[in-house]
Amino acid sequence: MSANSLMTPPTVSLPDTAPPPPFGRELIRATDLTAFYGTFAAVKNVTIGFEANRVHALIGPSGCGKSTFLRTLNRMHEVVGGHVTGRVLLGRDDIYGPRVSLTNLRRRVGMVFQKPTPFPTMSIYQNVAAGLKVGARQSRPEIDAIVERALQQAGLWNEVKDRLRQSAVALSGGQQQRLCIARTIAPEPAVILLDEPTASLDPQGTQRIEELLFNLKKDFTIIIVTHNMQQAARVSDTTTFFYLGTMVETGATKQIFTAPTQERTEAYITGRFG
């Protein structure tokens, strides 16, 4: 992906809407967050807040720590043996607090991965309902309603409503990824983390997901890691630039892409490195 095309205005469509009001309700905030793999700090002293009902993009070259940072927000970083120092507040709760249940946290902060990860032994319906089985038992009609709503929100309902019992792996890559989004939003999280969700999709599948984000931010707070700067420019309200594990700059997307204050940000978005 050539970043130079950013400099030719017609190919880039920045959101037409005005930048979001600056004093929205902040939902999730990392304070002085450092994330380690063993003794290596992949993310260093990041302090940043994310407002509710916005799309927040995290950009930066490979290995800059943006994905690691994302994974600290629902403690998936720990799954691969990492640990953190610093704090992450979700509302008023410290997600690294002593009595936090990882199950409850991850149901509040859902995650969609780079490659679509439907459960191959489950049907489409079972996949969407997979996250519901944990916790309170719902009745069948309730689950039906939740599955339909999640698939509607993920823009997949019309394509799969007649074959909910079929295997999820029969879907195309783009559909599988929207299925994973449906599965993530079914338990009604507050925040959705997307880790390069379109990296393995074709342009059409990518476009469907990008359109989806506009609708989803009405109900959810979205944080998306992308290595595609046009995508960040198209879908996000705020953009944060990571480089070598540190957060270089964060701000309204329009400002980051038109008037970055840091030299390294400008160099990156104009394609001079990375």
Instruction: Give the full edge-to-edge strand order of the sheet including 83-90.
Output: 40-51, 26-37, 83-90, 93-94
- Contact call for residues 247 and 4 (beta carbons, < 8 A): no
How many residues bind other proteins (CB under 8 A)? The answer is 38
Residue 191 near other proteins by CB under 8 A: no
Residue 122 near other proteins by CB under 8 A: yes
Residue 110 near other proteins by CB under 8 A: yes
Residue 236 near other proteins by CB under 8 A: no
Residue 168 near other proteins by CB under 8 A: yes
d(Cα 52, Cα 71) in Å, to the nearest integer?
A: 18
User: Using CB under 8 A, which of the segments 3-11, 23-31, 51-59, 181-189 binds other proteins?
Assistant: 181-189
Q: Which is nearer to other proteins, 116 or 245 (CB)?
A: 116
Smallest distance from other proteins to CB 121, Å: 4
d(Cα 23, Cα 13) in Å, to the nearest integer?
A: 25
Smallest distance from other proteins to CB 80, Å: 8
Q: Which is nearer to other proteins, 188 or 266 (CB)?
A: 188
Which residue in the set 33, 43, 105, 232 belongs to the binding site for other proteins (CB under 8 A)? Answer: 105
Residue 145 near other proteins by CB under 8 A: no
Q: Which is nearer to other proteins, 193 or 269 (CB)?
A: 193
Chain residues in the site for other proteins (CB under 8 A): 74, 76, 79, 102-107, 110-111, 113, 115, 117, 119-126, 129-131, 133-135, 143, 165-169, 180, 183-184, 187
